[in-house]
């Protein structure tokens, strides 16, 4: 089966990628494969596949490539093909298909209860025989008693970055104020409207209309350097009870996305925690006599920067907005820069790819990150095709930006 794994990484992994993506693969794997600068220039995809087979025998070479492609832009389909190919070879090597779920017969052993299956494409994990047994045990009287989960169960893998589940569920909600005494001497808790900690989510095509107040918007920017006409900007909007992150792909709508402006959004798409607006006709301003009351607490939550400590609790695939100070900068190559950001709760790496590597940012500056994704193997933030980055220069680093997309500000 060793040759089958090599065939997977060559035909399903390396063959479909372009020259630029292949150069990233060679650069990132240079240390692991022992590649010199000349070897990186001269080695083709076949030679790299040969080296990977030797350095990472068996299924390890496929896993290595999967981990790398999960970090790269526009490689989601390749990751899925690699995982499917890997599962197919592993099933062939076992000589049998995954055992289907079956019902327990009286007196049957617990090993017949279920089959453990890890779905490599989605990252989901189904119940194992042990987890089923831990969930419920039948007592002699036919009742059930609760059993605490084992340590092994508490360490099951998280969903993959392609998941569209909402994040932040592990964080505590806002605390209610203490009860206040009533005139009769009893106590009664005041009713307060709950303030969401995360942006609201909608999935699929939405007709609307949705009336919102604009809280803020970024400058328009080119998100695809191969096609300069592809421009967009990000915005944050709110109803009276929740806030939303918006991607606007019609830059002429920027004049309507002005702070405190009240607009309606129709015929938009909800995807991965964002509302996506594609047509100019989808946005219209409301009449001046229509008012909206958006609480200062909701606005504060919408503009808040997540603590790094809390980012480690989020699910992979979560998109993050916030302002963080840069403590270290590491230029890996012309197309990849790693920044170490820090706040009073911890540190985390931010990997920046492609066009955003031209933004002038140095140690001591602050980065205003928009639409950065939390990676799904090592916890770090990374730029994706729609990411936007703005630099807030420290006094000591203040100078003219080299690139118009750097959008420099000055920090005191």
* Cα dist from 293 to 106, 287, 288, 381, whole Å: 62, 15, 14, 34
Does domain 204-300 sit in CATH 2.40.50.140?
yes
Q: Report pLDDT digits (tens) over 153-163.
A: 333 333 333 33
Is residue 369 within 8 Å of 352, Cβ to Cβ? no
Average pLDDT, the chain: 77
CB 74 within 8 A of CB 385: yes
Beta pairing class for 319-333 and 336-343:
antiparallel
Q: Alpha helices of 329-407 — where are they, by DSSP H?
A: none
The pLDDT of residue 409 is 52
pLDDT of residue 107: 45
At 378-393, the pLDDT tens digits run 789 999 999 999 999 9
Query: With 60 as the cut, is the pLDDT of residue 181 above it?
Result: no
pLDDT digits (tens, 9 = 90+) for 317-364: 899 999 999 999 999 998 999 999 999 999 999 999 999 999 999 999
pLDDT at residue 379, as a whole number: 85
Packing angle, helices 60-69 and 45-55, rounded to 10: 120
Residue 396: is its pLDDT beyond 60?
A: yes
The pLDDT of residue 201 is above 60: yes
pLDDT at 1: 60
Q: Which class for 221: exposed (0-12), middle (13-18), buried (19 or more C-beta within 10 A)?
A: buried
Which pLDDT belongs to residue 407?
A: 53
* Domain 2-94 CATH (choose: 3.10.350.10, 3.10.105.10, 1.10.533.10, 1.10.3720.10): 1.10.533.10
Residue, of 353 and 193, whose pLDDT is higher: 353
pLDDT-above-70 percentage for the chain: 71
Q: How far is CA 357 from CA 334, 353, 376, 385, 402, in A?
A: 8, 6, 22, 13, 11
3-state class (DSSP) for residue 316: coil
DSSP H helix total and E strand total for the chain: 10, 20
DSSP state at residue 162: T
pLDDT on residue 175: 42
pLDDT the model gives residue 139: 44
Q: What is the pTM of this model?
A: 0.53
User: Considering all CA atoms of the chain, what is the largest pairwise distance in Å, rounded to the nearest integer?
Assistant: 86
pLDDT band at 288 (very low <50, low <70, confident <90, very high): confident
Residue 193 confidence (pLDDT): 55
Topology match between the domains 2-94 and 204-300: no
The pLDDT tens digits for 67-96 are 888 888 778 888 888 988 888 888 877 764
Region 6-10: what's the mean pLDDT? 87
Q: What is the rounded average pLDDT of the residues 298-314?
A: 93
Write the pLDDT tens digit of every residue in 19-33.
Answer: 888 888 998 898 889
Neighbouring C-beta atoms of residue 119, cutoff 10 Å: 13
Q: How many residues does the chain have?
A: 412
Residue 277 has what pLDDT? Answer: 95
Domain boundaries, the chain: 2-94, 204-300, 305-410
Question: Domain spanning 305-410: which superfamily?
Answer: Nucleic acid-binding proteins (2.40.50.140)
Q: What's the confidence (pLDDT) of residue 95? A: 62
CA 330 to CA 345: how far, in whole Å? Answer: 22
């Amino acid at each position: 089966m060793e040759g089958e794994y090599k065939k997977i990484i060559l035909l399903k992994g390396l063959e479909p990628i372009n020259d630029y993506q292949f150069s990233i693969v060679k650069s990132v794997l240079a240390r692991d494969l022992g590649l010199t600068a000349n070897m990186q220039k001269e080695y083709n995809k076949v030679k790299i596949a040969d080296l990977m087979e030797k350095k990472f025998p068996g299924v390890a070479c496929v896993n290595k490539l999967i981990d790398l492609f999960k970090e790269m832009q526009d490689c989601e389909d390749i990751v899925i093909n690699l995982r499917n190919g890997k599962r197919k070879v592993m099933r062939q090597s076992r000589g049998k298909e995954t055992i289907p779920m079956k019902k327990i017969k009286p007196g049957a052993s617990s090993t017949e209860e279920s089959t453990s299956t890890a779905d490599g494409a989605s990252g989901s994990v189904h119940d194992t025989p042990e987890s089923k047994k831990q969930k419920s045990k039948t007592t002699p009287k036919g009742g059930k008693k609760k059993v605490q989960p084992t340590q092994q169960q508490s360490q099951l893998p998280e969903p993959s970055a392609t998941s569209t589940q909402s994040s932040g569920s592990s964080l505590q909600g806002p605390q209610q104020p203490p009860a206040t005494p009533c005139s009769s001497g009893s106590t009664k808790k005041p009713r307060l409207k709950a303030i969401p900690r995360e942006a609201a989510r909608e999935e699929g095509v939405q007709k609307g209309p949705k009336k919102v107040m604009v809280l803020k918007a970024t400058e328009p920017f080119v998100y695809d350097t191969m096609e300069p006409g592809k421009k967009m900007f990000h915005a944050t909007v709110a109803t009276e009870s929740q806030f939303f992150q918006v991607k606007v792909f019609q830059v002429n709508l920027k004049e309507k996305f002005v702070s405190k402006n009240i607009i309606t959004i129709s015929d938009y798409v909800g995807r991965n925690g964002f509302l996506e607006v594609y047509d100019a006709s989808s946005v219209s301003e409301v009449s001046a006599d229509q008012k909206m009351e958006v609480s200062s607490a909701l606005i504060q939550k919408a503009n808040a920067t997540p603590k790094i400590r809390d980012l480690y609790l989020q699910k992979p695939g979560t998109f993050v907005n916030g302002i963080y100070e840069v403590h270290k900068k590491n230029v890996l190559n012309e197309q990849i820069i790693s920044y170490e950001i820090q706040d009073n709760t911890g540190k985390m790496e931010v990997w920046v790819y492609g066009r955003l590597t031209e933004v002038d940012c140095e140690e001591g500056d602050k980065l205003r990150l928009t639409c950065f994704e939390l990676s799904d193997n090592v916890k770090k933030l990374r730029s994706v095709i729609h990411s936007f980055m703005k630099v807030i220069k420290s006094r000591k680093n203040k100078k003219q930006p080299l690139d118009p997309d750097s959008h420099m500000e000055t920090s005191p």
